[in-house]
Amino acid sequence: MRVAPAVELTTEQVNELTQLARSPHTSVGLAQRARIVLLASQGLQNKEIGEQLGIGRAQVALWRKRYLTSGLQGIELRQSRGARPTKVDVRKLLELTAQTTQDADTLSAHKMAEMLAVSPSTVMRHWRANGLKPPVMHRFGPSNDPQFVGSIEDIVGVYVSPPEHALVLSCKQMRPMLAPDRLQTVLPPVTGAAKATTNKRQLQGMATLFAALKTLNGRLTRRCMLRNPQTAWLKFLRKVDHVTPKTHSLHLIADNIDTHGHPSVQAWMVQHPRFHMHFTTTSIAWLTSVQRFYRDMAEDGLRCNSFSGVPRLVSAIVEHVVDYNAEPKPFVWTGVQARAQGDH
């Protein structure tokens, strides 16, 4: 008959194990392991302890051995029962990630995991640890406008280094904004379910928003109109002329569209020499910083709402502009000067 190794405990060890076995704050597993050691110290064999506690003899033998080897720490910490950690050839992973071949352009975490025989989460973990990301392909569209480079230099120069005693305004004429009335009520969000809207809607009309963003402090000047002829743009320019200090010249950054080049608009500009236009060319409409405001307004206040008519749409636009002007934040150019200095 195989005899289990004896367990000898001091008075302090017995008191400590007894407290663990009886305390209501001890986990069930740790309390059971403490009873195993206490019974083993009384000379009982593994089979007898197992029958008394209702567990297997092998389990009793395991915890008896761990206590004899590591003491109390051996029964407090349970070793992981999962598979061994997968070893990854980190050097190979980094080499594959750094490849610049055509095949590497479509490399993803899943493809890398198949090549290294590991899980995608393991690949992502090593990428994050080494500050790497999967290869990304950026798309671009070259412009055929001969004034492309000159327009960029002009507009960026006005943003980064505006003239003295001048205000820089980023202007944009928003395309006709629709006033959709959804045929069913918008369902509010509830616990476990998101906000829901129907895709069926009825058009109630359109409105056009003209906006000028002051790049110095981010404040917005707006005007909503129901039609979009060149007269609407002239009315907007008159409003800008009225609300801005007369002692400052005005540099307006805007899209180069037909409305801005109409003869009536050109005649008005001649009569107001403090207005200076800087037009964007093909593929650089994103340089008008007010376009960021239009994007935020569409996502935050207009996209999921329902409007019974154009006046409701205009009221929502005005309310959003008022809230925005309460705490305006200018869009700041970053990295342009540093990149330009690096080129020289």
DSSP code string of 244-280: S-TTSEEEEEEE--GGGG-HHHHHHHHH-TTEEEEEE
pLDDT mean over 203-229: 74
Q: What is the pLDDT of residue 124?
A: 86
Nearest to 310 by CA among 174, 176, 186: 176
**pLDDT 10s digits, 109-168:** 888 888 888 888 888 888 888 887 776 666 766 677 787 788 888 888 888 888 888 888
Q: Which residue has the higher pLDDT, 188 or 251?
A: 251
Q: What is the pLDDT of residue 271?
A: 92
Pairwise CA distance, residues 288 & 212, whole Å: 10
pTM over 0.85: no
Pairwise CA distance, residues 56 & 47, whole Å: 8
Q: Is 8 a residue whose pLDDT tops 80?
A: yes
Considering the chain, what is the average pLDDT of its residues?
Answer: 77
Which residues, other chains included, contact 55 with Cβ-Cβ below 8 Å and sequence gap of 6+? 32
Contact 97, 132 (CB under 8 A): yes
Q: What is the pLDDT of residue 108?
A: 78
Lowest mean pLDDT among 4-8, 154-158, 224-228, 295-299: 224-228
Lookup result for tokens 């493809």: 111
**pLDDT 10s digits, 16-71:** 899 888 988 888 888 899 999 999 899 898 889 989 999 998 999 999 898 888 88
**pLDDT 10s digits, 68-105:** 888 888 887 665 455 555 577 788 887 877 765 455 55
How many CB atoms neighbour CB 173 within 10 A?
19
- The conformation of residue 105, written as its DSSP 8-state character, comes to G
Q: What is the pLDDT of residue 339?
A: 45
